[in-house]
Amino acid sequence: MKLIIQIPCYNEAETLEVALNDLPTHIDGIDEIEYLIINDGSRDNTVEVAKRWGVDHIVNFKQNQGLAKGFIAGLDGCLRCGADIIVNTDADDQYKGADIEKIVRPILNGEADMVIGARPIDETEHFSYIKKKLQHLGSWSVRRASNTNVPDAPSGFRAFSREAAMKLNVVNDYTYTLETIVQAGRENIPMMSVPIRTNAELRPSRLFKSMWGYVKKSILTILRAYVMYKPLKAFTLISLPFIFIGMGIGIRFLYYVSVGRSGGHIQSLILGCTLIIIGFLIFVIGILADTIASNRRILQDVQFHVKSIEYGREPRMEAPLFTEEREVLKRIK
């Protein structure tokens, strides 16, 4: 059983060694532990620090690609290196390395394929009051969108089984944390959270430049992920106000017709019909989007099996499939 711990890095020369020194070298149930960094176009000597420390693998970007692309590139690198379990942590030593054992244990025990470390947000001193409330609000929104009970959605301290890592896709350029939870929840990937601890802040977060920017990008990421995985429901909800308002205006016009006062209300009839047509068109777009989503699920399944072949290991099965059919084929042969 091989564990690879990956760390996305962008100009992390000052803090990387601190984070690496905090990582575990032995975990019961794990035969090998290796370390991988994703150098996301760093302009300092991040790579030199990693090599001097003895990092096993380095994924290099010539220029900064962003956290989401770096995360996916790291998963791909870990899978190519034969990882059975992948842990993602930060280069600023935000999370305690000793808690890696806590987040890999449910995977080792077969309880989950994706484990998220839940930080003690209310007890974290370097989080402002507003940031704490926004963290809770963001996690609540992700729980609603993903149909899960994840208490700390923005946490980047995560563990993935090999199968879960091969199924994940991130299409936004901002962050992987929110979208992967929505995907895992909607694709029924076994997922759970465990409480973890955090270290003192070594440097300010670089993920967002302002609180408003963080909120705006997070909302867009959640909405986009939800529409991607539940398009028919999303577009139906958008279409209903147009249809109901249009029908209300139409019923109002019919009332005036019934009492002989329809004159002067033709404009409202036109408005009502326009709103109903708009609502119907939005609903049709939802049907088309749902069809596209079905094709996307087929492509994801194909991608999963292609990755299984490419990385040289077939996915584990819960139980043998088609046992009776195989026995029949053996007898025929």
Residue 183 has pLDDT above 50, yes or no: yes
Structure tokens at 28: 């019961």
This model's pTM is above 0.85: no
Taking only the tens place, the pLDDT of each residue in 28-39 is 999 999 999 999
Instruction: State the pLDDT at residue 322.
Output: 39
Mean pLDDT over 288-310 rounds to: 82
Task: Report the percent of the chain where pLDDT is more than 90.
Answer: 35
Q: What is the model's pLDDT at position 328?
A: 42
Distance, in Å, from the CA atom of 119 to the CA atom of 25, rounded to the nearest integer, reads 23
H-assigned helices in 204-261: 211-229, 231-258
Residue 226 confidence (pLDDT): 82
Residue 266, classified by CB atoms within 10 Å of its CB into exposed (0-12), middle (13-18) or buried (19+), is exposed
pLDDT digits (tens, 9 = 90+) for 79-107: 989 899 999 999 888 888 899 999 999 99
pLDDT tens for each residue of 128-159: 777 777 777 878 888 887 888 888 888 889 99
Read off the pLDDT band of 332 (50, 70, 90). very low
Alpha helix stretches (DSSP H) within the chain: 16-21, 46-53, 67-80, 100-108, 129-146, 162-167, 177-186, 211-229, 231-258, 266-310, 323-332
The string of pLDDT tens digits covering residues 45-80 is: 999 999 999 999 999 998 888 888 889 999 999 998
Q: What is the pLDDT of residue 302?
A: 82
Contact present, 311 and 166 (Cβ < 8 Å): yes
Please, which pLDDT band fits residue 112 given cuts at 50, 70 and 90?
Answer: very high
Spatial neighbors of 196 by CB under 8 A, at least 6 apart, are 95, 96, 99, 102, 103, 117, 118, 119, 155, 157
Q: How far apart are alpha carbons 94 and 147 in whole angstroms?
A: 28
Domain boundaries, the chain: 2-228, 231-310
How high does pLDDT run on average in the chain? 83
C-beta separation of 196 from 157 below 8 A: yes
Q: What is the pLDDT of residue 203?
A: 66
| pLDDT-based confidence at residue 326 (cuts at 50, 70, 90) | very low
Amino acid found at 114: M
Supply the pLDDT for residue 207: 59
Of the CATH numbers 3.40.50.2300, 3.90.550.10, 3.40.1010.10, 3.50.50.100, which one belongs to the domain with range 2-228?
A: 3.90.550.10
